Amino acid sequence: MLLKRIWTDAVARWLYGIAVGGGLALVLLEPQVPLPMAAWVTAWSAVVLALGAWLSWRLPFEARWHEAQGDVAVDTANAALIVGLVDPLLRALLPVAVVALSGTGEASWPAAGWAWGGQVAVAVLWMEFAKYWSHRAHHEWAPLWRFHAWHHSSRRLYWLNNFRLHPVNHALQLALSLGPLLWLGVPDTVLLGALALTQPVVVLQHLNLDVHHGLWSRLFSTHELHRWHHSTEPAEANANYGSALVLWDQVFGTYRRHPAGRGPVKVGLFEASRHRRGRSEGFGWPGCCGPVT
């Protein structure tokens, strides 16, 4: 029993290293894998999420967050909508839209002469920059907050509500992060490399896991940091906007670190966003989710 607990703790503490290491291994082994790399990235992200969910049951941060609050069916349907329909459709249509708007399909990727690793680094930095400002704008501009509020409407954090996203919110973030790269002609291998390093990290953000990640939280947007982003207190929540990385939070002064083992008193919508409740709450209908204060 003791050995099992030690092993569980070790895996939990190195969860982010495992997630990124596995993604990197997939990229390096790309010529040998029999399926498209995109399928492997998705499969590895699912494995990482399943491991994180299992660890959450073994080492919960909040036991009460294991109790369903009438949200499982909603989160399951939302995940199916985003993962099964909206995201694949957007990824299929975005390259077509970029070519149509630019009027040319010629590649002009400025980092084309760089080593592959350098190109991936540039792609990751842009994607994270775009997602940071998209996320921040969704908090600071009331018309966008109406869509993003749906993500914050959950009153607990657990692995599934990572996918509680409004389609408009998801579409804007995807277009801003991937659109410019596609317009510049980024190679598919570079884009997949960037996704392989970031997507397995992002799926872990909402884990109900009681682990202090130390230096990992200086680099990645860990669940330890992200739980504070879901606080009902704007002073606590309007920070740590990074998607996979917290680099741009550190650059623009929105990085917040709290003592290990602590969490917000309550998670969910800000009081200013709860002035009208109902089935449409957080999903962008007029009268829902007022401006952030």
Q: 173-208 b/e with 16+ CB inside 10 Å = b?
A: bbbbbbbebbbbbbbeebbbbbbbbbbbbbbbbbbb
Distance CA 87, CA 92 (A): 9
Phi, psi of 55 (to 5 degrees): -65, -35
Give pLDDT, residue 222: 96
What are the DSSP E strand ranges found in 86-227?
none
Residue 9 burial (CB < 10 Å; 0-12/13-18/19+)?
middle
Q: What is the pLDDT of residue 277?
A: 45
pLDDT number for residue 10: 80
Does residue 267 sit in helix, strand or coil? Answer: strand
DSSP code string of 83-120: IIIIHHHHHHHHHHHHHHHHS------TTTTS-HHHHH
E strands, the chain, in order: none
What digits encode the pLDDT tens for the residues 197-241? Answer: 999 999 999 999 999 998 999 999 999 999 999 999 999 999 999
SS3 20: helix
pLDDT of residue 279: 43
Which among 170, 177, 94 is positioned nearest to 130, based on CA atoms?
A: 177
For residue 99, what pLDDT is reported? Answer: 82
Q: Give, for all 293 residues of the chain, the pLDDT tens digit.
A: 655 567 677 888 899 999 999 998 888 876 566 667 788 899 999 999 999 999 999 999 999 999 998 899 999 999 999 999 999 999 999 998 988 887 765 568 889 889 989 999 999 999 999 999 999 999 999 999 999 999 999 999 999 999 999 999 999 999 999 999 999 999 988 999 999 999 999 999 999 999 999 899 999 999 999 999 999 999 999 999 999 999 999 999 999 998 877 889 899 998 766 544 444 444 544 334 444 44
